[in-house]
Amino acid sequence: MKEIILTVNPKLEDKFKKGFPLISGDALASTAGLEEEGSIIKLVDRRKQFIARGYYGKQNKGLGWILSWKEQERIDQGFFERKLNNAISQRLGFYQSDETNAFRVFNGEGDGIGGLTIDYFNGYYLINWYSEGIYQFKNDIILSLKQLVDSKGIYQKKRFAQSGKYIDDDDFVTGERAEFPLIVKENGANFAVYLNDGAMVGVFLDQRDVRKLIRDKYAEGKTVLNTFSYTGAFSVFAALGGAVKTTSVDLANRSEAKTIEQFSINGIDYEEQDIIVMDVFNYFKYAVKKQLKFDMVILDPPSFARSKKHTFSAAKDYTDLLKQTIAITEKNGIIVASTNASSFDMKKFKSFIDKAFKESGSAYKLMEEFSLPEDYRTISQFKQGDYLKVVFIQKIK
């Protein structure tokens, strides 16, 4: 792969020298020569002195990622093997757990290779490629993984179509094909996952600690509403924690069958739970009309969502969504407010919460807060990578 030398904008030289990993267009004096994704980029300062070396791979975040700040370090199969080996060694506790066998093995720039994540599911590995650029290193990365771990099989998701979406083709890479659903464990509970069925597999691993707390501390004796419920993972943990009843609401038609499946493999009678296929925004109106209130409401919307009648952006609309949530939460009830939007930090998120309660004329108490779990490694030089923000809020009145 050819190497392209690019000069960094003088104002950003120090930022890159201190370890900032994302290469964006406005960070470069010129992007001339950037043509073939996967090309190696050598970044230099205005005096043509070496800063770092990375690769060209277009994502919605930027043009590529820095891989090394060592001038003599080569980007080859040995490089990727060292990075993967270090990441795996950081997760040995997860490999040894009897309670959990689904976790993140490699977390992009947090482990030194932006645009790449690898997850482990009960003996199988799932690689996510987030640009055509990183995909050019596929052979080196897969060979490295195979040499470092004893896997049943490896699957992949290509997430770099022109639209920025998932490329739907055969996700199987090597080893033996899994039988689906593949049953995995998280803190003693079961999840059915599908590594070969679209972009999503059936559970978001970054919410592991939040689900556990809901089960172990907050769910007992409660009525629980799980909005944007996907496959009902929060509902499962609430039910396992002794919730009186769970209500799961999601717009996707297949969410009902998927949620039934998750309840069933955990020995929970799904007929005792409510599973509703409906636009969440419409459900809030329905709940107000029917005077429904819940002891706990889980609010975990996507960063951006569009339905026939509604468009939601977490940065613009979370406060209003939270106000609707407050209206259907019982006094002294708990709201689990969550967002994976990377465009604002926890301080800003808490300002949304404060504004929503003030405008609703309600008082509140912050009970717990979470960011990404320990297997989702991040670096201080790239705060956007620590995207998850979760706050447990008690509605006082």
Q: What pLDDT is attached to residue 72?
A: 97
In the chain, how long is the greatest CA-to-CA distance? Answer: 69
Domains and CATH numbers, the chain: 3-68 (2.30.130.10), 77-187 (3.30.750.80), 204-395 (3.40.50.150)
Q: What pLDDT is attached to residue 178?
A: 97
Q: What pLDDT is attached to residue 288?
A: 97
Q: What pLDDT is attached to residue 16?
A: 97
Helix (H) or strand (E) holding 321: helix 314-327
Please tell me the distance from the alpha carbon of residue 156 to that of residue 121, in angstroms, as a whole number: 12
Q: 4-20: per-residue pLDDT in tens?
A: 999 999 999 999 999 99
Q: What pLDDT is attached to residue 69?
A: 98
Bridge partners for 285 per DSSP? none
| 326 burial type by CB count under 10 A (0-12 exposed, 13-18 middle, 19+ buried) | buried
- Numbers of helices and strands, H then E, in the chain: 11, 21
Q: What pLDDT is attached to residue 163?
A: 56
What is the DSSP code (8-state) at residue 342?
S
Q: Sheet containing 153-158: which strands, arranged edge to edge? A: 102-107, 116-121, 124-129, 153-158, 172-175
Other C-beta atoms within 10 Å of 221: how many? Answer: 10
Q: What pLDDT is attached to residue 2?
A: 79
Helix (H) or strand (E) holding 284: helix 280-289
Residue ranges, the chain, pLDDT below 70: 1, 162-166
Q: What pLDDT is attached to residue 166?
A: 67
What is the DSSP code (8-state) at residue 328?
T
Q: Among positive and negative, which fits the CA dihedral 327, 365, 214, 182?
A: positive
